[in-house]
Amino acid sequence: MTPRLWALVTFGVLLVALVVFAALTVPWHRAPAPRADQVAALGQFPPDQVAKARQFRSELRPATYASMVLGLVVALVLGLTPIGARLVELAGRPFGDHWLARAVLGGLLVVLAGELLTLPFSAWRHTIVARYGISTQSWGGWGADLLKSFGVAVVLGGLALAGFFAITHFAPRWWWAFGAAGAAGLVVLLSFVLPVVVEPIFNKFTPMADGPLRTELIALADRDGVPVKDVLVADASRRTRAVNAYVSGLGPTRRIVVYDTMLTEATPDEIVSVAAHELGHAKDGDVLTGTILGALGAALAVVAIYLLGAWTGLLRLAGVDSIGEPRAIALLLAVAALAGLAAGPGQAFVSRRIEARADRHALDLTGDPLTFEAMQRRLGSVNLSDPDPPTWEFLMFASHPSTVQRMAAARAYGRGER
């Protein structure tokens, strides 16, 4: 068979594998949280607090959605016209138009163009978050985090671009096969590396002091059969008042992380309730599931890109001869932006199902629906979340059940509706 036929077969196999694995691992069905309980839960919030949260979210929307639209427009203009290809050429010219310079510097230049154009909207969002007291960062701190994020993106993106286009350069007929394997491997590697290498760039982590809370969290993990390496406290208060906790890492790198803001805002029982939810993700292998789905999706995307390269009209729009050449970077990013937009609601739906299962795990592990409900109310209050957001926005973007849905589920659980 020709490489193209092999690619078509591989695409089909990967697609079937992705669908089957998702069908077996994602909790597609869950009992709906009774709407009457949701309405009752909403009544637990002071009206002025709900109004403030909704006003906060309303003020954030113009900057958020304008940034999304502008980012998409920039990606399409650069990718579906020769402008992107010319930017890549411009970046490679001082280095003799070497393919590696075009791949790395050209790719970063294309990405930087979009980042710079949407930067004012990020600054606009920061002013709103700071005005409502969620952010505790000065402009200097905000700028430092922005530079750190860009630095991490430069390193990871540069390595990915160099690797991908090295494969297309040295294996022009079979690059899709090597690239798919490399993309899948990179997703798996980053699942292990990011928690221990990248997270400390943005936060300082210190072991939680010995005491009843640390002891209870370790005991909770042991009782759940999810051993953790340590319990850490993140210095989140230097940038936000928001409260959170999570379980990070896989296997030997797994640890419970608690925001220092949560230690001051929440009760110990509420912290245990959040930790129980996060342990549910580890218990059910959600990180591993996400990693495998991501690896299959990344491999599928590389093969799809190769097959897309047969669409000569698309290549003509972008002003490139092959989708595997560095000059096509902007085209690849435009395709990725459209694919991300189309897949977003589906990914949010899957995420909500997984988060609802983790909620149920927390209730089973602690047997304390009252504390779970109190913690959800506190999370929504401190983080200024809309407890019952607009349906369209919820379906499009929400990665978690709404606050009132989670509170209603706890009430149903307390009545024995399991």
Please state the φ and ψ torsions of residue 288, each to the nearest 5 degrees.
-65, -40
Within 8 A by CB and 6+ apart from 352, the residues are 398, 399, 400, 401
For 318, the token pair is 């972008």
Question: Is 278 a catalytic site residue?
Answer: yes
Instruction: Pick the catalytic residue from 270, 359, 368, 373.
Output: 359
Position of tokens 């990915």? 160
- CB neighbour class for 200 (10 Å; exposed up to 12, middle 13-18, buried from 19): exposed
Instruction: Pick the catalytic residue from 278, 286, 386, 388.
Output: 278
Within 8 A by CB and 6+ apart from 262, the residues are 243, 244, 245, 271, 274
Helix (H, G, I), strand (E, B) or coil at 251: helix
Distance separating alpha carbons of residues 104 and 155, to the nearest angstrom: 10
Amino acid in position 288? L
The kind and range of the H/E element at 335 are helix 329-366
Q: 281 a known binding residue?
A: yes
Q: What is the number of H-type helices and E-type strands within the chain?
A: 18, 4
For 253, the token pair is 């790198």
Q: 355 a known binding residue?
A: yes
Which residues are annotated as part of the binding site?
A: 277, 281, 355
Q: Which residues are catalytic?
A: 278, 359
Which residues are annotated as part of the binding site for Zn(2+)?
A: 277, 281, 355
